[in-house]
Chains A and B, each alone.
Chain A
Amino acid sequence: MEATIEVNGLRKRFGSALALDGMSFTVHPGQVTGFVGPNGAGKSTTMRVILGLDSADAGTALIGGRPYPSLRHPLSHVGSLLDAGALQPSRSARNHLLWLAHSQGLTARRVDEVIAQAGLGSVIRRKAGGYSLGMRQRLGIAAALLGDPPVLMLDEPFNGLDPEGIVWARGFLRSLAAQGRAVLVSSHLMSELQDTAEHLVVVGRGRVIADTSVADLITTASSGRVTVRTTARPQAMEVLAHAGAVTAATGRDTLIISGLAAEKIVALLGESGVLFSEVSAHRASLEEAYMELTRDAVEFRAAVAVPADTEEPAR
């Protein structure tokens, strides 16, 4: 079976709200694909449709070319984590994994293997109700691995993880992808996917805004922009704006300039006698690139944290 997720033209309406509006993308094996968008963009709904839990009004979702409900022992085809809190609180974590294993014809030996993989060793016989969100995420990841599936799909797996847990999860997801699996990881915070995802599917308002590799996205977002560090910021802005550049102050002594090449900027500032300590090609952060993309698509602006150092256009 080919390790892919193919989503094509999904539409779904909940009452008057259009949750999915032609959602289409493909998740390829061998890399972590980030599934990013603001809350309410349709990420979880898409995942539920992929798993056959919700039915779409139109469109198809295929795992390795087959619809999910036609899979026998589906956990051997796709491992998923939708909601880390989906547990019977009075059942021990190990028994949670055990019934899932039994449902796929797997044995307790496999349960012990994924417990070790997810780093759950010592607390596995405690009731799941007493687990922290971080522990539940690890348990959910262990459950997703039970069937040793070629495709993994995790909804907000970093939620509730402590910093150490986030580092572990990033490395773990990368290693799973390196084994040739297709890994789809959703998040509403782009920063969580930094250093993890190689490919991004950015969504907003139920449709795909961008389907691109991380490298391409950052190149696009950075293209032609130059960072200038100077103590004489107002003079520098005046000189460069006069030459036709768009300038933006991003700090007390930093500017981001677009519309002028670095050499031209150095020459202009030299001619005008404005002192500067640095002129360099700007490299956008993933967060910046994402904000740029979703600026129009954000439905719930308040839910998206706007970092204080984000550039503000000025002239």
Chain B
Amino acid sequence: MTAGTVAPYQPDQQTGRDGFAPLLRAEWTKFRTVRGWVIGTVVAVLVMFGLGLFAAGASSSSCQSTSGGPVRTGQGCVTIPPVGPGGEAVSDSFYFVRQPLAGNGSITVRITSLTGLLPPANGNVPGGPNAPIDTRPGLVPWAKAGVIIKDGTAPGSAYAAMMVTSAHGVRMQDDYTGDTAGQPGAVSPASPRWLRLTRSGDTITGYDSADGTHWTLVGAVHLAGLPSTVQAGLFAASPAYQAITEGFGGGENGLVGPSQDTAVFDHLGRSGSWPAGAWTGEYAGAADGSGIGGYHQASGRFTVTGSGDIAPVVPGQAGDAGTTVTQHLIGTFAGLIVVIVVATMFITAEYRRGLIRVTLAASPRRGRMLAAKAIVIGAVSFVAGLAAAAAAVIFGAQLAHARGSYVYPVPWPTELRMVVGTAALIAVAAVLAVALGTMLRRSAAAVSLVIVAIVLPYILGAASILPVGAADWLLRITPAAAFAIQQATPQYSQLTAIYSPNSGYFPLAPWAGFAVLCGYAALALGLAVVLLRRRDA
């Protein structure tokens, strides 16, 4: 038989579908048929979930939490903060001089003075809540006083307020987290401030003025579901004094003690339906009446003294016995290590055995093959991460509640972002691992590099090992920046607190941090495709 006489071979089977789907299916088949990789993924979920539960259970407290407001539950126990309209933990204690306002209306006032008292500089904070404070004159930066319109007196209820502050000028604040700057500068008899709040339906508008004639709009806020009759009037509040010093791994509260402020109001003007009777003065937000405050009214002049704060409460501060959802996700780094190993092996095992040649002979378009691999390992890791994160958050909270410890509430969109973002972090890290595995072709080198790039900076930054400055930089420029996706509470500019990586605050915004990781992964994947195409298999 010679070549010329042979009938060409006619295959009797149909050629399969062309396109990307078969590649995805092939890579998925590859993944699911290696038992070690499937077990590894399950282990990653269990480790992540287990460590989360451990963190949630470890911070147990003997205090019984009661709902419905701040309750001081005894020595060593936390005050359970109320929950604001946005779902976050808030502080809602201040001195309130109020009257009911029915329907629409407005309140205008002039403030001529804001003074206050601080705890002694030597750190001798008096013991009992009602003990007289051995004090020195002074104000904390966010000492505040002004006019407020509030849903009611229930802790955590909605409000909007115009205020003067000691160091941040005139502000309009609403619902604990909203904060808009008005006129800058401190208030004094020579430089008084006029403030006005106007209610129209659900909208409250704030104005300020230096002379009571020329008014400037500061802001308008919408308080959904505001009742027709609200509580309105004057207030004064002064957050606790904190001497924050820089320590290794984060700030330290060297001294924490109560402070108070006193504001002098006059030229009170009102429009709308106000009662003719007297004002009610009370310390709002402390069930046992422990707050400092009082008021004095004489010849159109109100002198109001208060303490406490109307602001968010953030975790990670001195004496904080609660946990956050972030801590329930503490196992992420451990699960991530396992996922990184599996994802790296997904490609390097092929190099080790020469299987890559079979793969590339079956899929000569190499970029598509790698894309399919990345999508499969990314999807598997995402599902695993989602399961682990959701379970850790749900059961972590249940365990913490069951053991009587406090979990800071977070708004549901934040919680969703943390859970889905954690899954996405793990997925993108897996893609990065596949890309580096393709570039290096060696399991040990690729695994080490990815762990050094993601897990190590996170541990160094979040575990008080490095000074804050270095930790901040690590968590900005390394792929570990993506852990910002797990930040439970934003950094509030209107709240003096320790915002450091080891107390759960990251230098970048959640999605910005995640974008850093995505950038690294995209870069690595691009390089991997170039190398894969260029190199002999």
Contact = CB atoms under 8 A, between A and B. Distances in A.
Interface of A: 1-3, 28-31, 48, 51-55, 68-76, 80, 82-83, 85-92, 95-96, 98-100, 102-107, 110, 143, 148-150, 179-182, 198
A30 B349 CA distance: 38
Contacts of A51: 357, 361
A90 B36 contact: yes
A143 B26 CA distance: 14
16 contacts: A29-B6, A30-B7, A51-B357, A51-B361, A53-B361, A53-B537, A54-B536, A69-B364, A74-B362, A88-B34, A90-B35, A95-B29, A99-B33, A105-B17, A148-B13, A180-B8
B359 to A, nearest CB: 8
Contacts of B15: 72-73, 76, 105
Interface in B161-183: none
The 4 closest A-B pairs by CB, nearest first: A105-B16, A30-B6, A28-B3, A103-B26
Contacts of B537: 48, 53-54
- Max chain B CB contacts within 10 Å: which of A28, A90, A91, A198? A91
B296 interface: no
B7 A180 contact: yes
Contacts of A54: 536-537
B354 interface: yes
A181 B17 CA distance: 23
Nearest to A95: B33
Contacts of A29: 3, 6, 8-9
A180 B10 contact: yes
B8 A99 contact: no
A102 B359 CA distance: 12
A279 B419 CA distance: 91
B376 to A, nearest CB: 11
B66 interface: no
A88 B353 contact: yes
Contact of B362 (A75, A87, A148): A75
B30 interface: yes
A70 B365 CA distance: 8
A216 B478 CA distance: 68
Contacts of B360: 52-53
A74 B361 contact: yes
A113 to B, nearest CB: 9
A104 B22 contact: yes
B26 A99 contact: yes
B288 interface: no
B364 A74 contact: yes
Given A28-B6, A179-B9, A106 B353 contact: no
A68 B10 CA distance: 19
Nearest to A2: B8
Interface in B1-40: 1-3, 5-13, 15-18, 22-23, 25-27, 29-30, 33-36
B104 to A, nearest CB: 69
Nearest to A84: B354
B358 interface: yes
B290 interface: no
B271 interface: no
Contacts of A71: 364
B349 to A, nearest CB: 6
Nearest to A71: B364
A105 B6 contact: no
Given A53-B537, A71-B364, A179-B9, A83 B3 contact: no
Nearest to B27: A99
Contacts of A100: 26, 358, 362
A85 B536 CA distance: 19
